[in-house]
């Protein structure tokens, strides 16, 4: 199975799950079970499925055939090259391909001059007017390819401007580009490119990140600190005939070796194996040479040999366009597609399936408690009314007075319930303060000042270590605070259950200490910039400023995610209490109405008991049906993609 087929099936599985979720939502609404807490859970599940993205980043030094590989794997269906892949430097700026239904098909380009301004890439994304836009016709491959060719555009600027933009370094002259005859330096015209198009794979959530070579990567810290570490798979491309060169090793060590523990998320591709197809060598000899190159590359990069694949992107693209199965097999492109589909998509489905299963279980608990509460109230009403058989009007009147008194006592107890809320909110306020943007900014301020200070930054590594230690301590403290709030909730809910017959259950506490792992990954991704080899680059104010912004942007995402988890936990607890308070008030109203009807008609008692018994039977069936629907939903993540496709 190739990558496109596997991704189609992954998309079909997501659609099937979303459909089941929609049917469950409608069923809950039809049966008056759509309480705010349940709606919150459903919205979260729907967002997880709808917004799930799979990012594949392609990284290589110039002229390794990276863009051609993207064409071969993803765009062969157009019958031609879509990404520019001519000889020499083609992709001059980081290019993201994705789909946003709210935008027309277009190419958006951020001018390179924005590097001279303080905003981060994330800030620029939220300023669409600053991007140059080129509309795309996705039904015209020729127009599409011509428009996307703009990512190859360059400018020629004086040395001073190249220096300010981060493409010229006086301290490391050997890394500087060669000036032209006019003394000007070639730099990319664009800082970043975003391609929005309704390609089938992009519509299903695939995001492709095409990166430029070493100089361009290093000059844009936000790319290596934020975009690359958040990719679900990184494909690192080498030339099969040269193997790992010095510049390849520089990219690997500085930008990819520190991406984390997920070895399966990194694939190494030896491209252009067709250059080794030699008429003077037998096919067996060629394969032995390729195998030796794979083994050498794996050893140098420190990865298992199974993660080093050899392909010919150019021959693979040609084979797909001409429907030449023999050439496609010789290109070994399908081996790479299988590795992507089995490793990346399989891993992504497991992660997504685990997340949605946890959400469905939480949904099951909240809706189940509501059904149980209603069943318990019905049983109590039936027992209460059954006790009135043969009793006179005076006894019935006394029962009504007793119910009204219970209702008054319950309403008066609101102060006690409000006290529980107040304590909960006060503790939460302290927790939110610890995770607030202002607190994060204060914690990072010393490091930010060190980074932005002029000259060589001798003490920056110490400030860096100190900052991340404090941030980890913050998350540990936040996790302890969440544990205290959880204990308070459990105790309060237990008391309310005992006093008022509720069935409250404190939702699972957020595991905030787990975000320490995200901090570790961010710390690793920045370490490369603190080495002696980067001391001169770090001494440049513009580069240090960009690095500080990139760091803050990435940390802000971690803290915002943690805050969102706390908010969901809080809403779940509050919604559960609100739902049971509403149910109890409705129960008092129903009991008083039932007694009133019995007072008005002699036959009302038996009729009302039969009504309640019918409701009880219906609610029992409702509970069974709800279990079936949620079990069906829980089964979706475990199904094979083909089963989901056929369902």
Can you give the residue ranges of every domain in the chain? 53-153+189-331, 154-188, 388-600
Dump pLDDT digits (tens) for 96-139: 999 988 889 999 999 999 988 878 788 888 888 999 999 998 88
pLDDT of residue 647: 42
Match 């544990």 to its residue by tokens: 483
Dump pLDDT digits (tens) for 140-174: 888 988 998 898 888 999 999 888 887 887 776 77
pLDDT of residue 330: 93
Whether 212 and 91 have beta carbons less than 8 Å apart is answered as yes
| Long-range CB contacts (within 8 A, 24+) of 78-85 | 78/141, 78/144, 78/145, 79/141, 79/321, 80/141, 80/142, 80/145, 80/321, 81/145, 81/317, 82/141, 82/144, 82/145, 82/148, 83/148, 83/210, 84/145, 84/148, 84/149, 84/151, 84/152
Tokens of 350: 């497991």
SS3 308: strand
pLDDT of residue 601: 61
Dump pLDDT digits (tens) for 430-450: 999 999 999 999 998 888 887
Mean pLDDT of 642-647: 42
Average pLDDT across the chain, whole number: 82
Match 């958040």 to its residue by tokens: 230
Fold of 53-153+189-331: Rossmann fold (3.40.50)
Dump pLDDT digits (tens) for 543-594: 777 778 888 888 998 999 999 989 888 888 888 888 888 888 888 888 888 7
- Alpha-helical (H) ranges within 387-459 are 393-412, 414-434, 437-452
Residue 625 has pLDDT above 90, yes or no: no
Residue 645 has pLDDT above 50, yes or no: no
471 or 503, higher pLDDT: 471
Element spanning 207, H or E? strand 206-210
| Beta-carbon contacts of residue 323 (< 8 Å; ≥ 6 apart) | none
Dump pLDDT digits (tens) for 368-403: 888 888 888 888 888 877 777 766 677 778 888 888
Residue 323 pLDDT grade (very low, low, confident, very high; cuts 50, 70, 90):
very high
pLDDT of residue 433: 93
pLDDT of residue 263: 44
SS3 436: coil
| Beta-carbon contacts of residue 478 (< 8 Å; ≥ 6 apart) | 431, 434, 435, 512, 562
Whether 326 and 599 have beta carbons less than 8 Å apart is answered as no
Residue 461 pLDDT grade (very low, low, confident, very high; cuts 50, 70, 90):
confident
Distance from chain centroid for Cα 210? 19
Q: Report the alpha-carbon distance of residue 491 to residue 510 in Å, rounded.
A: 18
Residue 535 has pLDDT above 70, yes or no: no
pLDDT of residue 7: 77
Dump pLDDT digits (tens) for 336-362: 888 887 777 777 777 777 777 888 888
Residue 3 has pLDDT above 80, yes or no: no
Q: Beta strand 206-210 with 95-98: parallel, antiparallel or unpaired?
A: antiparallel
pLDDT of residue 135: 93
Q: Beta strand 185-188 with 154-157: parallel, antiparallel or unpaired?
A: antiparallel
pTM as predicted: 0.71
Mean pLDDT of 193-220: 78
Whether 155 and 187 have beta carbons less than 8 Å apart is answered as yes
pLDDT of residue 196: 93
Percent of the chain with pLDDT over 90: 20
Burial of 50 (0-12, 13-18, 19+ CB in 10 A): exposed
The 3-state secondary structure of 228-253, one letter per residue: CCCCCEEEEEEECCCECCHHHHHHHH
Mean pLDDT of 184-195: 91
Q: What is the DSSP letter of 508?
A: P
CA neighbor of 551 nearest in space, from 634, 627, 445, 429: 445
Residue 534 pLDDT grade (very low, low, confident, very high; cuts 50, 70, 90):
low
Q: Report the alpha-carbon distance of residue 175 to residue 197 in Å, rounded.
A: 36
Residue 481 has pLDDT above 80, yes or no: yes
Residue 314 has pLDDT above 90, yes or no: yes
Dump pLDDT digits (tens) for 23-47: 888 888 888 888 777 888 888 888 8
pLDDT of residue 295: 94
Distance from chain centroid for Cα 513? 19
| Beta-carbon contacts of residue 55 (< 8 Å; ≥ 6 apart) | 206, 207, 208, 209, 230, 231, 232, 233
pLDDT of residue 111: 94
pLDDT of residue 213: 67
Q: Beta strand 54-60 with 206-210: parallel, antiparallel or unpaired?
A: parallel
Mean pLDDT of 200-218: 75
Element spanning 111, H or E? strand 106-111
Q: Report the alpha-carbon distance of residue 261 to residue 528 in Å, rounded.
A: 17
Match 């010393």 to its residue by tokens: 446
């Amino acid at each position: 199975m190739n990558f496109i087929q596997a991704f189609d099936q992954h998309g079909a599985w997501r659609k099937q799950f979303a459909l089941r979720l929609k049917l469950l939502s409608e069923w809950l609404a039809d049966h008056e079970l759509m309480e705010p807490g349940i709606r919150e859970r459903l919205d979260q599940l729907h967002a997880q499925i709808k917004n799930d993205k799979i990012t594949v980043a392609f990284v290589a030094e110039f002229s390794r055939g990276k863009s051609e590989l993207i064409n071969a794997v993803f765009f062969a269906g157009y019958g031609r090259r879509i990404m520019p892949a001519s000889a020499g430097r083609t992709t001059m700026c980081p290019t993201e391909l994705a789909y946003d239904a709210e935008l027309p098909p277009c190419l958006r380009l951020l001018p390179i001059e924005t590097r001279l301004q303080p905003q981060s890439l994330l800030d620029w994304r939220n300023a669409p007017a600053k991007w140059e836009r080129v509309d795309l016709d996705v039904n015209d491959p020729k127009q599409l390819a011509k428009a996307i060719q703009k990512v190859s555009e360059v400018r020629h600027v004086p040395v001073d401007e190249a220096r300010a933009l981060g493409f010229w370094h006086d301290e490391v002259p050997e890394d500087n580009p060669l000036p032209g005859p006019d003394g000007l330096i070639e730099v990319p015209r664009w800082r970043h490119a975003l391609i929005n198009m309704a390609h089938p794979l992009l519509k299903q959530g695939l995001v492709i990140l095409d990166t430029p070579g070493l100089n361009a990567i290093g000059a844009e810290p936000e790319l290596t600190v934020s975009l690359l570490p958040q990719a679900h798979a990184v494909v690192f491309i080498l030339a099969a005939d040269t193997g790992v060169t010095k510049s390849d090793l520089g990219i690997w060590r500085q930008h990819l070796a520190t991406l984390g523990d997920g070895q399966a998320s990194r694939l190494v591709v030896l491209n252009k194996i067709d250059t080794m197809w030699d008429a003077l060598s037998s096919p067996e000899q060629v394969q032995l040479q390729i195998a030796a190159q794979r083994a050498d590359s794996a050893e140098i990069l420190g990865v298992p040999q199974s993660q080093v694949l050899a392909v010919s992107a150019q021959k693979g693209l040609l084979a797909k366009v001409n429907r030449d199965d023999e050439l496609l097999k010789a290109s070994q492109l399908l081996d790479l597609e299988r590795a992507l589909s089995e490793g990346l998509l399989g891993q992504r489905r497991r992660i997504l399936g685990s997340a949605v299963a946890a959400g469905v279980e939480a949904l099951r608990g909240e809706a189940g408690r509501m059904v149980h509460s209603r069943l318990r109230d019905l049983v109590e009403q039936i027992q209460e009314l059954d006790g009135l058989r043969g009793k006179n009007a005076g006894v019935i009147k006394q029962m009504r007075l007793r119910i009204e008194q219970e209702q008054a006592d319950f309403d008066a107890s609101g102060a006690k319930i409000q006290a529980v809320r107040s304590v909960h909110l006060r503790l939460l306020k302290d927790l939110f303060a610890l995770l607030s943007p202002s607190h994060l900014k204060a914690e990072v301020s010393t490091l930010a000042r060190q980074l932005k200070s002029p000259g060589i930054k001798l003490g920056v590594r110490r400030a860096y270590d100190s900052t991340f230690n404090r941030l980890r301590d913050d998350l540990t403290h936040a996790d302890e605070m969440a544990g205290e709030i959880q204990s308070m909730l459990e105790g309060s809910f237990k008391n309310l259950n005992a006093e008022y017959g509720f069935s409250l259950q404190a939702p699972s506490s957020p595991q905030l200490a787990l975000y320490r792992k995200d901090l570790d990954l961010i710390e690793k991704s920045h370490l490369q910039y603190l080495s002696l080899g980067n001391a001169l680059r770090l001494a440049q104010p513009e580069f240090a400023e960009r690095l500080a912004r990139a760091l803050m942007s990435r940390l802000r995402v971690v803290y915002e995610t943690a805050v969102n988890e706390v908010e969901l936990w809080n809403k779940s607890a509050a919604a559960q209490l609100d739902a049971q308070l509403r149910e109890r008030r409705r129960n008092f109203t129903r009991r008083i109405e039932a007694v009133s009807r019995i007072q008005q008609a002699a036959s009302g008692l038996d009729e009302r008991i039969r009504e309640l018994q019918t409701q009880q039977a219906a609610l029992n069936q409702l509970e069974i049906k709800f279990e079936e629907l949620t079990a069906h939903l829980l089964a979706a993540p475990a199904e094979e993609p083909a089963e989901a496709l056929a369902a």
